[in-house]
Each structure stands twice: as structure tokens, then as C-alpha cells.
Structure 1
């Protein structure tokens, strides 16, 4: 059997914000980009050979951006310039539709665009103006998409450790005649969560995964729940605990693995059920987003 060529792509948001890649066991670390302005979410387009990431910028200044490089770190390009999105956070690539989706925290919205930054859209607007911006329950952070069922998922994390976090769902497209601020199709799937951050979907198993950086016992965890369980009752299952402010999550369903980052600088690997948890990297700076990619054989990394 031919072994897959895999890489993890990880963001480090300390003083000299970096994008780096490693093998799934944590070896062969390669720094691809430096000088990122508080990078937070990362996604990989294997088909086109690109890595995308968000820069939060300085949140009070409304100066976030999204950049792109080739898989080897070359051809760095800004696709969403500073000021078009306020504080872009976690990022999702919907490969079939060729779209990028992200949560805009202080912008209080969920946005998307084409892979070159064109056709920018706001899909959800949770608040407007400075008064709403101070209400952290309106801050949108994590995002993922189910293109088959036509669903958009996102987190509104709430204040730190407040137990006011939510995970919501709506249609992938804005309903005709409705505005992003007044959508009638929004469902609240979970509320009262400590501080939910990043989202991932196992589409084959109809399972939603997320990190939560709030207080234990339900915070500093990795969780999962079925998207549409029989009877409609969704009960989160805690898969991992004792993270040091968990942020990013990436799934490898084919390999039955997941990878998680935390702000203490650790990268963890575990089975999709949380079994076999181990640290593959430690003390790497303030780690945020993570993406897993299976690359064409022979790709230079």
C-alpha cells in the first residue's frame, strides 16, 4: 500500500506570527511564512496548491485580512485586504463550491468569498454598531459547512468562561428576500457552552466536532455531537479534556484521526473518539488554527 503524503499546517500568533507545517507525527517542521498579523484560521486547497489564513490584525482598528501562499510558502498574496473584514477568525474552505467561509469576531458576522477574494458576502449579521460589539455573545468565531445538506454552522463564543457560548446553523445561502441580520432559518443547536471556538464536520458520519476554551469541566475540551440525531436530541460528548485553552481542530476522517492546538503551544493527535491522545508538539508559541491535508505524491513540502 502506498503511504499517503500528509502535512499539518499550523498558525502561531505570537509576536512574529508564523505559518508552519509538520508531518502528522510532529516531525520535519518547516516555517513557511512569518510576519502575520495575529493569524487565526487556516485552510488548504490541495487542488490549486494554496494555503489560506486569516489575520486578526489589531481588533479595535477594523484591519483584519486574509492571505494566501503556495504550499511551499511562495507567492504570498493578500486576497481580502485590510479593513474589508474586521477581525477574521477561524477559516473553512468549501472545496466543491470553491468558497472560503470565516467568522468575523468584532464584525459580528459570518462571511464568505471566492478563492481570489471576489464576490465577498455577509451571510449572518449578529449585531450592528459599537454597543453590540461590546456584547461578546454576538462574536462569531468558528465556522464550517455541509455542502450536501446545504448547512452553514458557526460559533458565537460569548465572554471568557461565561457559559454563554452557542453553536448555530442556517442555510448555506441567504434566503431570498431576507437580510443577514434578519434570517428566519437560524437554528440554535447548542447554548450554555463555556466558550466554543473552532468547528469541524465529519460529513460521512454526520458528526460535528468543536473545541471549547472555557473553564472545566466542559471547557478546555474537544466535543462532538451528531448533526441530526434521531428524535432531535443533541447531547455533546466530551472526547478530550485538560487542554490549555483549546483553539484549532482538524479532522482526518480517512485516517480516523484528529489534531488540536491550544494557546499554550501544544499540538495534540487523537482518534476521532478521543482515544490515544498524545502531544506531537509542545511549547510552540500561541497556537491557533490548524489544517490537515493529503498532498499529491512528490509534492515539495
Structure 2
């Protein structure tokens, strides 16, 4: 490969794209991630070799049957591409790698806000205002706003069921028994998990912690769950009822993944996430990752 065609000629903090400028994610399973001439390549189970432009990716989601070399991780993180380990089709989120270019400034800001009860409540109100733009939330307690949200989501499920002509008996999910749910719930579970994986990687990339939330608590990734509720309506809920009608009773993981990815790109999710997090944390302008 000629010098001018090298994927990594020189990577500097100034040349790194912002999180919102990158392609959202790439899901990989049953293959090996390694290095070839300073670029990352993917070798699948049929020995097909695919070069991966990690400098243009926000995160790699590594699924079952994946192995990765130390050099591949080093090269990906040098390009500010996060790496997350997930279950099949991103149905479970296991872990995420920390980027070495991140500092603690944003983390300190997040901790400061979360540790102050009044400031944490105001961050929560800002999130709820995005879903209740016409409601007066001044003086509302967190429990009261969570109750409003619960009612909104239940009504939304029913609305989408009627819109797409799909039967709906409520949200049901048994951990480890994905196939026991009905088709709509399977799609909801899969798309929710994929959304969590993307958001967790974005949160890490911006120097925040997924473990410090403002609405959710007592769960592994409360800040990710806080953020996910801002985007679930178009990316997960509408998707689930729309595809239930189209799939005619049979779950198709490839169709779910393709449609979910298309919606993520259409709504420019990473740009929206970056903007929303900066607004929530009181950051007036977006900073480049790692600066």
C-alpha cells in the first residue's frame, strides 16, 4: 500500500473526528480482528478478509466467537474507535474499553452534578422536558416525573399497536429466554440492547461514566438508560411495531439490525447524543474527544 493510501499515516488529537462525525457502529461476530500494515482487518469464519476503517467508526461491537489481537485494540483506540463486548446481535452488553485519550474533566462535571440533589434533579427535569415540552415540570419530584413517563410510554405502546394493527399484551422480557417473548417484544429487546451498546460507547468516548445516572438507579448503566429513553420512540418502539407487521410472525435478526442501523443513521444519533449530553452537563460547546 502506498504511503498516501495508508489508513494511519499519523493520528493526532487535533485530527480525530468528533463523536458525532463518525459512523455509529459496526457489529462483528465469529471471526478475528487483527492488524495488517497498520490497519485493522476482520477475518470472518469463512476466511474472508475485510479492511475496517476504524478512524471513521465510533465503536466496534464484538459479538460471540470474536477474538482480537492486542495490536488491533491499540490501533482502534489510537483512532478513537471504542470497543465494546456484546452478546449475539448486541442483545446483551458486557463491557466497554476506556479510551486512553480521555481525561477526567467531564467525569468530574458529571459527578459534581449527580452529587448535588438539586442539580441532579434539574438535569433529570431537562431530560423529561424533551419528552414533555408543553408540561410545567417546575417543582415536580423525580417520582412524579417518572410516573408521567410511565404513563406516556404505555400510551405510546398502545398507540403504535393501533397504528400498525399489531396485537399488544404489554412489555415482557425474561432474561436469558429471548425466544419466549412475542415478536414485538423480541424486536424491542434487540433494538434496546443495540441502543445501549452505542450509547455506552459514546458516553465513554466523551469522557463521562455510564454508571452515574440522574433518573435511573440500582442498575449497571443508569446514565445510558437515562439517555436511551430520549431515543427509544423512533429507534426501538416504532421500529418494533412496524417490523412486527412486516415480519409476519417470524423474527429476522438481519432485518432488525438493518432497519435499526438505517434509523440510527437517518436521525444522526451520534450528533444528537453529543448535543444532548453537552446540554445536560452544561457544556456550552462540544469538545473534541480526548481534549
TM-score (normalizing by structure 2): 0.30
Larger radius of gyration: 2
* Structure with higher RCO (Cα < 8 A, 6+ apart): 2
TM-score (normalizing by structure 1): 0.29
- Specify which structure has the higher proportion of strand: 1
